[in-house]
Amino acid sequence: DAKTTQPPSMDCAEGRAANLPCNHSTISGNEYVYWYRQIHSQGPQYIIHGLKNNETNEMASLIITEDRKSSTLILPHATLRDTAVYYCIVRVLNNAGNNRKLIWGLGTSLAVNP
């Protein structure tokens, strides 16, 4: 089962910031939060990841709460090409304890409107 909870859909106006929330209340201290997005019928694309501190790259910013139970992905100036499904994922140890894997949920379908 996914360790994250996201709203199923969101809307955003073109040019405005898109703030996508994610709850991961059962996250462990050494588990990273990853964000990917998937444009319809294409392979997912890595966006950003973090552990405790806020992170920023050319695509987005990731804000993680101090208790690490939730995070927000921010797309500062959304464009129509940002319309996609956004996945918030926790990277966990596999059952054997010798590798890590990503647990994918259903994501948030973001629609950027003109």
As given in the structure block, the two tokens for residue 21 are 């929330």
Binding residue (CB under 8 A) for other proteins from 11, 26, 46, 65: 46
Q: Check binding of 51 to other proteins (CB under 8 A).
A: no
26: closest CA among 80, 111, 105? 105
Span from 18-26, 59-67, 74-82, 85-93 in contact with other proteins (CB under 8 A): 85-93
First to last CA, the chain: 36
Q: How far apart are CA 85 and CA 18, in angstroms?
A: 13
Closer of 64 and 89 to other proteins (Cβ): 89
Looking at this protein, which amino acid is placed at residue 16? Answer: R
| Residues in contact with other proteins by the rule CB under 8 A | 2, 32, 34, 36, 41-46, 49, 87, 89, 91, 99-107
